[in-house]
Amino acid sequence: MQLERLNEIFRAKLSDEDFKRLSEFIYREYGIKMPPAKKVMLQGRLQKRLRELDITSFREYVDYVFSKEGQDNEIIHMIDVVSTNKTDFFREPVHFEFLAQEVVPQFAKNTDLRYPLKIWSAGCSSGEEPYTIAITLFECKEKFPALDFQILGTDISTRILQTAFDAIYKENRIEGIPLHILKKYFLRSKDRTNPTVRLVPEIRKKVSFMRLNLMENVYPIPEMFDVIFCRNVLIYFDRPTQEQVINKLCMHLKAGGYFFLGHSESVTGMVVPLRQIKPTIFVKIE
C-alpha cells in the first residue's frame, strides 16, 4: 500500500453519524454497549479493518458493512475487532477452589461418576478459563480417579477462538501459576527467542470450542450442563440484556447445577432461576 494512501487511512475520522449507525447495530445484534465515550476507541480499533480492506474513509467502510457483501463477509471481522478479550489463567481462584472442593465431590456422590461432568465456559475468550477448569478437574482425579468431564468454550470472536483452540500462549501469561501445575500441564517451546507454552494434549482434548453470539434467540447447543461459567461477560450488556442472557443460559443448566458470575456482576433485581449460595456462585432452582 502506498504511503500516501496509508496516511489517508490514518487521518480518517469516524463521524458522529457513522458511529451512531455502527453502535446501534452492534448493540442490537450483539448486545455490546457502545456509548459516545467509546467513539475514539471504536475508531482506533476499526483502523485495522480500513487498512486491510484498503478503504480510506469510515463513511465508505460503514456503507460497506451494511451492504450485502459486507453483511456476508465483514461483520464477523468487525466484531472480532470490537469485542474485548481479557482473561487470565486461574482468574478469580475462589471459583476453581469451589469447583474442586464442593462441586466435584457432590457430583461424585450423586452420580457415582456414571457419566461425565459437563461444563460450559460462555465467553471463553482465548481459552484460559476452560483450560483452567480442565486443569482443576484433572487435579481432582487424584481423589476421584473415575471422574470424566467435558468442557465447551464459546465466544463471539473467531479470531480469539483460534487462539483458544491452538492453546499456545506467551510465557508471561503463566506467571503466578504454581510450579507443580506448570510441570504437569504446560509444555515450553524450544524456541527461546519467542518463549511460549502450550497445554498438554490430555488437557486440550477435554475442551471443545465453538462460535456463539449470546444475543441469539436460541442457542444451538443440545447438551445440558452441570456447571456454567459466565464470568466478566455480562458487564458489556445493559441490565435487561443481562437478564435475558442469563435466562437463556439457564435453559442449558441442569436443575441443581452451578452458575458462576464474575466478581463485578450480580443478578440483583433480576427474575432468573438462580439461588445465590456464595458471592457470584449460584445454584439453579429445581
For 45-72, give the DSSP string: HHHHHHHHHT---HHHHHHHHTSHHHHH
Dump pLDDT digits (tens) for 121-178. Answer: 999 989 999 999 999 999 999 999 999 999 999 998 888 899 999 999 988 888 888 8
Residue 72 among the catalytic residues: no
The question of whether 45 is a catalytic residue gets the answer: yes
3-82 and 94-284 agree in CATH topology:
no
Name the superfamily (CATH) of residues 94-284.
Vaccinia Virus protein VP39 (3.40.50.150)
Question: Which pLDDT score, from 0 to 100, does residue 8 have?
Answer: 64
Give, in words, the CATH class of 3-82: mainly alpha
Going by the DSSP 8-state scheme, the letter that residue 235 receives in this structure is: G
- pTM of the shown model: 0.82
Return the pLDDT at 224. 96
* 21, 45, 173, 204: the active-site residue: 45
Q: Which of 18, 49, 80, 155 is catalytic?
A: 155
Question: Taking the domains of the chain in order of start, what are their residue ranges?
Answer: 3-82, 94-284
> What's the mean pLDDT in 94-121?
96
Looking at residue 7, what is its pLDDT? 64
Task: For 197-256, write each residue's pLDDT tens digit.
Answer: 999 999 999 999 999 999 899 999 989 999 999 998 888 788 899 999 999 999 999 999
Can you tell me the distance from the alpha carbon of 132 to that of 124, in angstroms, rounded to the nearest whole number?
A: 11
